């Protein structure tokens, strides 16, 4: 009698769980390596940022460092020191300092006699004028009277503004007859930092914070001040308070990098939140744990399949032996075995049918993916006309409320034209999907550019973007398509406005065109942040974008590049030397004519 096959045993999950617990400690070195990697990346990035900031600060200071010595040689200032009672000479000195201050960008310049009294100043006509005020208590005056270049950072006792002071002696031969002081405004160097998780902190020789991106840290002490330092602070009054309060920072919450500026005796520090490292490290550990768990599950499934396979081999071998020995008396058992074999064949056929259905589902998924790509493209291309239609519709409603039916009718006509253009874009995208090719025609460049600007006019005015046009008076004709050229220009101008949202005023957009033997070149330049290196390499790549998923799909520049190549032209991306993105459209010149034909692909 044939014994029944034993049921396959379940995998030893307890053994797998034990193995998982044994391998779990491997996550600790993974966490350590990830933390070291992300920390090094953050340190390298902040070091570069720190170097750039220090270079910018030193560049600002060096620009004004030699001014006091040079300006001290001016005859008008020497005359004012020689005859301080002459109002005409003092008036001339005031006007001279005011003009030089306006040209150099310094905050204020003033001339003092040997007693520290201010005789002339660039702010002589302001309510906080330095004229007739005595600043002999300031260290820069003492240094200048000693024949050295005076340097000092502090809060102005008159203006209440922070600044860095340069002072130099004015000499008559070997005799010092006065002191000229230049005050430099450093508030702008503080505002350049921007809103980032990392915080800037600059401390002077007393350890007091003088420049920082965190306003609550300003003029706080990073260490305990000695009695001698407190007396010195009281004497020279560099801060708004004579007793700076301590700055209590949790060292475990910040990763600090510090660089010393030897010329000024300051220390510049970047404090990065610990979370910038902890967050990606936790992600890496979570991914590692998930990968380890998946590995354990796969190992369990392999063990289960192996047991099934071994049990089946053993069962078939035992069955063959028993069939050879007991063919005659085991006919009934053979019939039972045949039934089991038929059942197995049926299961195999069912499995084959499941495989066919799975393949059909995969084909259907591929179709849905292509449909999703097409839908994303259509949504991207129709977004701008839809926004214009909404704007015209809202304006028409307001015009109707004011009984301005003619103006409302004009808006409705514009809406009709935009819907026709949307139908043209849909027809073009449909033709593009079936690899249809439109023969380029001669198109006027300036009207197409005006149409694209009109769609974005409301947004441009809301953003206060200054438009600077440098286009020839004569019409430029290019080889392109009416609708496709407007589509390209609209996308590029919209991307320029998107880039300008990342910076504050002033915002500017330049448009220029020129004709040459090679064709027509149109350049679009903005004063935004420009392209990063990766964006320059992948600007025309589909679905690549530096925006968030809600801001863009990464299709605009890819479609523009494809359309330009279809025209026989090219689209070039670069960064301007003065900052901002620079996009150049090179197109073949077209034959002059009258563009009266409707836009291409007008049918739906």
Evaluate whether residue 374 is within a structural domain.
no
Query: What does the block give as tokens for 464?
Result: 């206060």
Evaluate whether residue 493 is within a structural domain.
yes
What pLDDT was estimated at residue 604? Answer: 29
Evaluate whether residue 418 is within a structural domain.
no
Residues 564, 467 share a domain: yes
Beta strands in 238-385 (DSSP E): 254-261, 266-273
Beta strands in 416-552 (DSSP E): 441-444, 465-470, 477-480, 507-516, 519-526
pLDDT over 60 (residue 468): yes
Residues 177, 200 share a domain: no
Residue 337 CB contacts under 8 Å (≥ 6 apart), including other chains: 2, 319, 323
Residues 567, 482 share a domain: yes
Q: Choose the final residue of a domain: 273, 303, 338.
A: 273
In angstroms, rounded to a whole number, what is the distance separating the alpha carbons of residues 441 and 433? 21
Evaluate whether residue 575 is within a structural domain.
yes
Residues 232, 102 share a domain: no
Bigger pLDDT: 299 or 371?
299
What pLDDT was estimated at residue 397? Answer: 86
Domain that holds residue 118: 66-185
**pLDDT average, residue stretch 32-42:** 82
CATH number of the CATH domain containing 478: 3.30.565.10
pLDDT over 50 (residue 567): yes
Residues 164, 89 share a domain: yes
Query: Residue 544 — very low, low, confident or very high, per pLDDT cuts 50/70/90?
Result: low
pLDDT in tens, 430-456: 544 443 345 678 888 888 888 788 777
Phi and psi angles of residue 335, each rounded to the nearest 5 degrees, phi first: -65, -40
Phi and psi angles of residue 48, each rounded to the nearest 5 degrees, phi first: -65, -45
pLDDT in tens, 310-342: 888 989 888 888 888 877 777 877 888 888 889
pLDDT over 80 (residue 593): no
Model-level pTM? 0.44
In angstroms, rounded to a whole number, what is the distance separating the alpha carbons of residues 289 and 275? 20
Query: Residue 112 — very low, low, confident or very high, per pLDDT cuts 50/70/90?
Result: very high
Which of 57-61, 104-108, 238-242, 498-502 is the most confident on average? 104-108
Evaluate whether residue 317 is within a structural domain.
no
For the ranges 42-51, 246-255, 351-360, which has the lowest average pLDDT?
A: 351-360
Which of 15-29, 121-135, 330-344 is the most confident on average? 121-135
Residues 214, 115 share a domain: no
The domain total for the chain is 3
Closest to 108 in 3D by CA, of 100, 141, 91: 100
Evaluate whether residue 528 is within a structural domain.
yes
Residues 452, 566 share a domain: yes
Residues 141, 228 share a domain: no
For the ranges 57-66, 376-385, 572-581, which has the lowest average pLDDT?
A: 376-385
**pLDDT average, residue stretch 493-500:** 86
Report CA 235 to chain centroid distance, whole Å: 46
CATH number of the CATH domain containing 210: 3.30.450.20
Bigger pLDDT: 139 or 542?
139
Q: Is 595 helix (H, G, I), strand (E, B) or coil?
A: coil
Query: Residue 501 — very low, low, confident or very high, per pLDDT cuts 50/70/90?
Result: confident
**pLDDT average, residue stretch 160-165:** 84
The residue written with tokens 């260290």 in the block is 139
What pLDDT was estimated at residue 381? Answer: 57
pLDDT in tens, 281-309: 888 878 877 887 777 778 777 877 888 88
Residue 459 CB contacts under 8 Å (≥ 6 apart), including other chains: 387, 497
Residues 201, 74 share a domain: no
Please check whether residue 24 is in contact with residue 295, taking contact to mean a CB–CB distance below 8 angstroms.
no
What pLDDT was estimated at residue 289? Answer: 78
The residue written with tokens 């004028």 in the block is 129
In angstroms, rounded to a whole number, what is the distance separating the alpha carbons of residues 187 and 123? 19
Evaluate whether residue 353 is within a structural domain.
no
Bigger pLDDT: 378 or 350?
350
What pLDDT was estimated at residue 374? Answer: 42
Q: Is 37 helix (H, G, I), strand (E, B) or coil?
A: helix
Evaluate whether residue 194 is within a structural domain.
yes
Residues 243, 135 share a domain: no
Please check whether residue 570 is in contact with residue 564, taking contact to mean a CB–CB distance below 8 angstroms.
yes
b (16+ CB within 10 A) / e for 416-428? ebbebbbbbbbbb
Task: Supply the mean pLDDT for the chain.
Answer: 79
pLDDT in tens, 26-36: 667 777 788 78
Q: Tell me how crowded residue 302 is: count the other CB atoms within 10 A of its CB.
A: 11
In angstroms, rounded to a whole number, what is the distance separating the alpha carbons of residues 506 and 497? 13
Phi and psi angles of residue 198, each rounded to the nearest 5 degrees, phi first: -75, 145
Q: Choose the final residue of a domain: 249, 273, 297.
A: 273
Q: Using alpha carbons, list the distances in angstroms from residue 97 to 141, 205, 263, 309, 337.
A: 18, 31, 27, 97, 112
Q: Choose the final residue of a domain: 166, 185, 204.
A: 185
In angstroms, rounded to a whole number, what is the distance separating the alpha carbons of residues 504 and 104? 24
Q: Is 456 helix (H, G, I), strand (E, B) or coil?
A: coil
b (16+ CB within 10 A) / e for 156-168? bebbeebbbbbbb
Residues 268, 156 share a domain: no
Q: Using alpha carbons, list the distances in angstroms from residue 142 to 134, 135, 151, 159.
A: 13, 10, 10, 21
Residues 139, 118 share a domain: yes
């Amino acid at each position: 009698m044939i014994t029944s096959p034993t049921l396959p045993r379940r995998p030893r999950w307890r053994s797998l769980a034990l193995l998982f617990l044994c391998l779990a400690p491997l996550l600790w070195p993974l966490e350590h390596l990830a933390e070291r990697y992300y920390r090094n990346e953050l340190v390298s990035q902040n070091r570069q940022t720190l170097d750039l900031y220090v270079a910018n600060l030193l560049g600002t200071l060096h620009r004004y460092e030699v001014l006091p010595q040079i300006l001290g040689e001016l005859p008008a200032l020497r005359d004012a020191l020689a005859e301080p009672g002459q109002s005409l000479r003092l008036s001339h000195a005031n006007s001279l300092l005011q003009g030089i201050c306006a040209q150099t960008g310094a905050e204020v310049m003033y001339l003092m006699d040997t007693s520290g009294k201010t005789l002339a100043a660039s702010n002589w006509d302001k309510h906080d004028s330095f004229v007739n005020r005595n600043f002999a208590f300031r260290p820069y005056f003492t240094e200048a009277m000693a024949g050295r270049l005076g340097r000092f950072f502090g809060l102005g006792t008159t203006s209440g503004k922070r600044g860095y002071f340069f002072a130099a002696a004015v000499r008559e031969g070997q005799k010092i007859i006065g002191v000229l002081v230049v005050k430099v405004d450093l508030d702008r160097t503080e505002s350049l930092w921007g809103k980032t998780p990392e915080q800037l902190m600059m401390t002077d020789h007393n350890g007091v914070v003088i420049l920082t991106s965190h306003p609550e840290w300003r003029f706080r002490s990073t260490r305990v001040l000695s009695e001698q330092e407190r007396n010195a602070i009281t004497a020279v009054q560099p801060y708004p308070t004579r007793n700076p309060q301590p700055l209590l920072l949790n060292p475990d919450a910040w990763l600090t990098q510090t660089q010393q500026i030897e010329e000024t005796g300051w220390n510049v520090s970047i404090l990065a939140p610990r979370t910038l490292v902890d967050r990606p490290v936790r992600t890496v550990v979570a991914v590692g744990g998930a990968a380890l768990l998946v590995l354990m599950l796969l190992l369990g499934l392999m063990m289960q399949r192996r047991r099934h396979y071994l049990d089946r081999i053993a069962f078939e071998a035992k069955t063959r032996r028993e069939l050879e020995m007991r063919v005659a008396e085991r006919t009934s058992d053979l019939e039972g075995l045949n039934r089991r074999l038929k059942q197995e064949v049926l299961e195999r056929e069912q499995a084959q049918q499941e495989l066919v259905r799975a393949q059909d589902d995969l084909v259907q998924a591929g179709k849905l993916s292509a449909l999703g790509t097409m839908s994303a493209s259509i949504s991207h291309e129709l977004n701008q006309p839809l926004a214009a239609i909404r704007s015209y519709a809202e304006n028409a409603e307001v015009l109707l409320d004011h009984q301005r039916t003619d103006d409302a009718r004009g808006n409705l006509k514009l809406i009709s034209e935009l819907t026709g253009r949307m139908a043209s874009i849909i027809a073009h995208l449909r033709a593009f999907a079936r690899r249809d090719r439109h023969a380029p025609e001669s198109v006027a460049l300036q009207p197409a550019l005006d149409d694209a600007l009109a769609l974005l006019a409301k947004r441009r005015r809301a953003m206060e973007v200054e438009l600077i046009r440098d286009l020839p008076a004569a019409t430029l004709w290019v080889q392109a398509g009416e609708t496709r050229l407007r589509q390209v220009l609209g996308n590029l101008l919209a991307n320029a406005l998107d880039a300008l949202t990342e910076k504050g005023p002033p915002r500017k957009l330049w448009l220029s065109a020129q004709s040459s033997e090679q064709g027509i070149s149109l350049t679009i330049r903005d004063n935004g942040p420009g392209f990063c290196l990766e964006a320059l390499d992948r600007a025309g790549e589909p679905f690549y974008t530096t925006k968030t998923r809600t801001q863009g799909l990464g299709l605009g520049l890819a479609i523009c590049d494809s359309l330009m190549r279809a025209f026989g032209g090219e689209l070039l991306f670069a960064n301007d030397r003065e900052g901002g993105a620079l996009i150049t459209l090179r197109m073949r010149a077209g034959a002059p004519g009258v563009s009266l034909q409707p836009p291409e692909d007008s049918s739906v």
